[in-house]
Structure 1
Amino acid sequence: MAKDKKPRRPKAETPKGFRDYFGADVTERKEMLDTIAGVYHRYGFDPLETSAVETVEALGKFLPDVDRPNEGVFAWQEDDSDWVALRYDMTAPLARVAAQFRNDLPSPYRRYAMGPVWRNEKPGPGRFRQFYQCDADTVGAPTVAADAEICAMLSDTLEAVGIPRGDYIVRVNNRKVLDGVLETIGLTEDDHETRAAVLRTIDKFDKVGREGVLQLLKEGRRDASGAYIEGVGLSEQQAEGVWNFLSSTGDDNSETLALLSQVIGDSAIGGAGLQELEDMSKLLAALGYAEDRIKIDSSVVRGLGYYTGPVFEAELTFEILDEKGRPRQFGSVAGGGRYDDLVKRFTGQAVPATGVSIGVDRLLAALRAKGRMGGVDRGPVVVTVMDKARMAEYQAMATTLRNAGIRAEVYLGNPKNFGNQLKYADKRNSPVAIIQGSDEAARGVVQVKDLILGAKIAQSASLEEWKSQPAQFEVALDDLVAEVSRIIDGAGQ
């Protein structure tokens, strides 16, 4: 008789394109989100949490990754035949909320939202299918003063989280100007697919450069792997017209506006976009946001298809080392723009809207790369267990520390090997271990082991110095909180 096969064990591995977040990652993200929320709150924005799942119809088809399954979203069909999907950004759900609750919300409605989004993209180095976004949007304000305010708030936010002036730039353009350029090269509003392909192509400028963009706009090109990527099919003259638009950034905003004026010709829609850029430039200058913080840049187009006016990106300008030790600029960490037609999909009525989205994980990675975040999360004080019969007393010590605002826990593993308890405290990155045997209990004292100082001494001291080190000392039980606070405060915790 054949032996029964053992049940197959599942692999303990994270799915491709996803990752797990541990102590310091979660703590630092929360601190950053709290800081960002503080800036948004000062600007008058209210928090909003929407469902992680939306109907596919509500989300719309705006992602540039059209070659992926479900056009870039994680979608499934419900029993009643409706298709639903995980949200791919925070903007499409906001449009649904603005339409659904339009009679209850103030107009304009200013909101911010924070949380994970999901995209069914091809994973790669630094490219994940789940990531955090932090958005702020104004719905119901037709004036470009709302766009200028978003850009100013983005600048303030970057500085608040630790990116100083000179290490970032907020770059601004206008989708209407691009529409004007496409009009001048012969692409009408009816050429939806070709326009969308042009948009996706020029959004790759940072990756493939001038020649790569020109090749993709025309016949196509081979990428680094040798695979052939089909081009948009523009003529040489049309492709050069698009490139002239992309390369129209001057030394200052005035020169850029003049260059853009030349490439749009007599286009009315292009002229309207140019006027909006000029108005934003004047507003930002009046608010004190000079071109070293926010500037007009013709190469900014944004990949999503729902933008209708001003678009903007925040780029970090400092260098970091890649995985091969080569210097490179970190790049974009935030982007957004005006999307006046998104709410209209639900209501049939034009509803102006503008907003920005910050890639929180990328921003955290940038700060860590510059050494502005440690990536280390200090653990709790560990109360060790010398006598299981006295567990209540050990728990009382931990409670006393917690009531004083100090993280603390009692060791709940097997207390038989005391060395393992200290190893546990080290693995937890604990600042202090508390020790009390029967002798100390009878005298009303505890041993306080300063693990921070102990680690420093162990790195530099000889064996004899280690034996006489001052990292462990005896204190009265009544002084426990004061001594532990002194150690933690001294370590900058």
Structure 2
Amino acid sequence: MTDQTPSAPARPEARSPRGFQDRRARDLAAERAILTAVAAVYERYGFEALDTGAFEYADALGKFLPDADRPNEGVFALQDDDEQWMALRYDLTAPLARFAAQNWETLPKPFRRYAFGPVWRNEKPGPGRFREFTQCDADTVGSARPEADAEIIAMAVEGLTAAGLPQGSAAIKINNRKLLNGLLSAVGVTDEGQKLGVLRAVDKLDRLGPDGVRLLLGEGRKDESGAFTKGAGLSAKAAEAVLAFTAAGGGHDRAGTLDRIAEVIGGSAEGDAGLAELAAIDAALKSLGVAEGQALFDPSVVRGLEYYTGPVFEAELLLDTKDEKGQPVRFGSIGGGGRYDDLVARFTGQPVPATGFSFGVSRLAAALRAAGRDQAAEVRGPVVVIAFSQDDMAHYFAVAGELRAAGIAAEVYLGSSGMKAQMKYADRRLAPAAVILGGDEIAAGVVTIKDLDLGRELAAGVTDNAQWREERPGQVTVPRAELVATISRIVRGG
């Protein structure tokens, strides 16, 4: 008879789901600093904070709802106990449209709100592309005035500066869907599919250049691998008109760009309406003190023009950035937005004008880090109270309590290692100081404090380890009553 011993249960593999990331204090502090700074700007402009839930009913997400029995393409969806499909929010704009439609009668109009929080996308992850990330939005709902767009742009400029980007390191590029619509009408393009093909071709201008886009506007283009992409099918004359339109913004001030565009689009009614809107935005931007280099008109910007109904804007990072290996990397767009007058109408049936701007907080934090302008390059740990004896834990906690009461982060070491390991722990935590309270110190009514910041600074120039250990730089013994004052000087750099 065989003796069968039950096998141990299989252990799960410790792994993160694809497209999701773990973030420690450094990353969280960098994002928190950005959000705090930007929120202060939005509130100065009179925008109200709003937080909607993580889930929305799937049909409220509009264009993200696929024609499928289970709506989980592009979004993470589940069925509630009443058999209605809910999905994690894809962005912060669709929840705003739902909220505005649901509460329109009681809201102050226009309704000005800002929001930030995580959003989720059920898409294939890749380098720098995650399924969960944090967005920060500001929107005005209920105003059709071009000045509402201008204010959003001015606020975006100021917000990005507050987030840590120095002036001149980013620019908001502005276009208007009506301009391109007017141009396409003037050259005889009326088919919506063909218009979308033009948009997709122009969107590749940065990557392929005018020659590559010219092919995509015509019959199509074969890439280096031999794969063929079908073009928009424009005539050669129409393709040249589109390229001339996209080139109208280079090297000109806002008013000069509008003059160039007016020459190209041929005076169509929709194009003229777009020009008038941009002229009004220009006047408002001047009044708001937004310089030409901070916000410029660029007809090559086609950010989601099939979604937006008027002006569109995109924030481009101009800083030189490098990856972790020191190689140059191009971040390009770090945010964008525009006017979307049809979104609330999905719920109400009545057009409600709206405009807004959004940026990815994690992306901006990564861009700042790549440019060497990380606001939270390192996160300081707490003051660490070294624990020598179980019998003296009351003294250790009393020290930690005093420091916390004075607004200084502190912790008592609660592991089981000796002093050397505890000091190494404090150093790994980037603790500013360690408190040494042995039996002799307790009996004498004193406390020994090791200035770890000073120790790290001096250690960079150490040549004699024996002398270093003997002199114990940065270590002082003070009366117990001077504990808080001494630690305060170390923590606050005084």
> Do the two structures share a fold, i.e. TM-score over 0.5?
yes
1:401 counterpart letter in structure 2: L
Contact 2:177 2:305 (C-alpha < 8 Å) held by counterparts: no
Pair 1:321 & 2:322 matched: yes
Contact 2:382 2:411 (C-alpha < 8 Å) held by counterparts: yes
TM-superposed deviation, 1:400:
0.4
**1:319–1:225 CA distance, 2 compared to 1 (3 A):** farther
Pair 1:295 & 2:303 matched: no
Which secondary structure state, in structure 1, belongs to the residue aligned with residue 407 of structure 2? Answer: coil
d(CA) in 1 for partners of 2:79, 2:223: 35
Q: 1:240 aligns to what?
A: 240
Pair 1:332 & 2:333 matched: yes
Deviations 1:46-100 (A, max 9, x none): 0000111112221111699xxxx95533334445443332222111111111100
d(CA) in 1 for partners of 2:125, 2:367: 20
TM-superposed deviation, 1:487:
0.8
User: Residues 369-408 of structure 1: matches in 2 within 5 Å?
Assistant: 369-373=370-374, 374-408=376-410
Deviations 1:301-320 (A, max 9, x none): 21263211111111121212
2:199 counterpart letter in structure 1: L
**1:385–1:103 CA distance, 2 compared to 1 (3 A):** same
Pair 1:53 & 2:48 matched: no
Contact 1:319 1:330 (C-alpha < 8 Å) held by counterparts: no
**1:228–1:484 CA distance, 2 compared to 1 (3 A):** farther
Structure 1: gaps of 5 or more residues: none
**1:264–1:278 CA distance, 2 compared to 1 (3 A):** same
Q: 1:345 aligns to what?
A: 346
Q: 2:14 aligns to what?
A: 12
Q: 2:280 aligns to what?
A: 279
Pair 1:31 & 2:33 matched: yes
1:258 counterpart letter in structure 2: D
TM-superposed deviation, 1:475:
1.2
Pair 1:474 & 2:461 matched: no
Pair 1:443 & 2:444 matched: yes
2:62 counterpart letter in structure 1: G
**1:119–1:482 CA distance, 2 compared to 1 (3 A):** same
Which secondary structure state, in structure 2, belongs to the residue aligned with residue 406 of structure 1? Answer: coil
Q: 1:202 aligns to what?
A: 202
Contact 1:61 1:71 (C-alpha < 8 Å) held by counterparts: no
Q: 1:455 aligns to what?
A: 456
Pair 1:425 & 2:426 matched: yes
Contact 2:34 2:164 (C-alpha < 8 Å) held by counterparts: no
d(CA) in 1 for partners of 2:23, 2:299: 37
**1:332–1:182 CA distance, 2 compared to 1 (3 A):** same
2:480 counterpart letter in structure 1: L
TM-superposed deviation, 1:361:
1.4
Contact 1:216 1:232 (C-alpha < 8 Å) held by counterparts: yes
Contact 1:62 1:304 (C-alpha < 8 Å) held by counterparts: no
Q: Which moved more, 1:202-211 or 1:376-385?
A: 202-211
Pick the aligned partner of 2:165 from 159, 163, 166.
Answer: 163
TM-score normalized by the length of structure 1: 0.91
User: Residues 217-236 of structure 1: matches in 2 within 5 Å?
Assistant: 217-222=217-222, 228-236=228-236
**1:293–1:305 CA distance, 2 compared to 1 (3 A):** same
d(CA) in 1 for partners of 2:350, 2:97: 12
1:170 counterpart letter in structure 2: I
TM-superposed deviation, 1:180:
1.4
Pair 1:487 & 2:490 matched: yes
Give me the CA root mean square deviation: 2.4
Q: Which moved more, 1:122-131 or 1:376-385?
A: 122-131
**1:326–1:408 CA distance, 2 compared to 1 (3 A):** closer
**1:52–1:259 CA distance, 2 compared to 1 (3 A):** same
1:39 counterpart letter in structure 2: V
Which secondary structure state, in structure 2, belongs to the residue aligned with residue 482 of structure 1? Answer: helix
d(CA) in 2 for partners of 1:429, 1:324: 24
TM-superposed deviation, 1:367:
1.9
1:243 counterpart letter in structure 2: L
d(CA) in 2 for partners of 1:80, 1:198: 44
Q: Which moved more, 1:147-156 or 1:12-21?
A: 12-21
Deviations 1:402-427 (A, max 9, x none): 00000001111114x22221121122
1:249 counterpart letter in structure 2: G
Contact 1:457 1:469 (C-alpha < 8 Å) held by counterparts: no
Deviations 1:198-254 (A, max 9, x none): 334433333333334334444444556665544444454444343332222142222
Pick the aligned partner of 2:104 from 102, 105, 115.
Answer: 102
d(CA) in 1 for partners of 2:60, 2:448: 62
2:320 counterpart letter in structure 1: E
TM-superposed deviation, 1:331:
1.7
d(CA) in 2 for partners of 1:280, 1:153: 13
2:157 counterpart letter in structure 1: S
Deviations 1:104-151 (A, max 9, x none): 110000000001112233322222222111100000111001001111
The total of aligned residue pairs comes to 484
